Amino acid sequence: MRLNEYRILWVLVFFDLPTETKKERSIASKFRKEILRDGFAMFQFSIYLRHCSSRENADVHIKRVKKLLPEKGHIGIMTVTDKQFGMMELFYGKKEKELPNTPQQLELF
């Protein structure tokens, strides 16, 4: 099946982790570093996103995030299609900002 903006997905990870103690800060930092290592990019301080070429690829990365979940805190994982992601409007104050670049996809057959 051909790749298109309805099959390509973005995985978003939202989190709010406790950081009151040194140990909690360490756990939160480790979680953040591990999802960065898995190819997620920071969108906002507690929102990270990753471009995935298919549902199967997105499922792999979602499973990896689930293995990293700390004992405490609130974590959300959401997937949206490339089409939905492209309809997002971003602003810094009243100035509109460009969306992050979508990685180029190659299709070989």
Binding-site annotation, residues: 16
Count of CB atoms situated within 10 Å of the CB of 49: 21
Which residues define the annotated binding site for Mg(2+)?
Answer: 16
Q: Which of 4-30 are b and which e, b meaning 16 or more Cβ less than 10 Å from the residue's Cβ?
A: eeeebbbbbbebebeeeeeeeeebbee
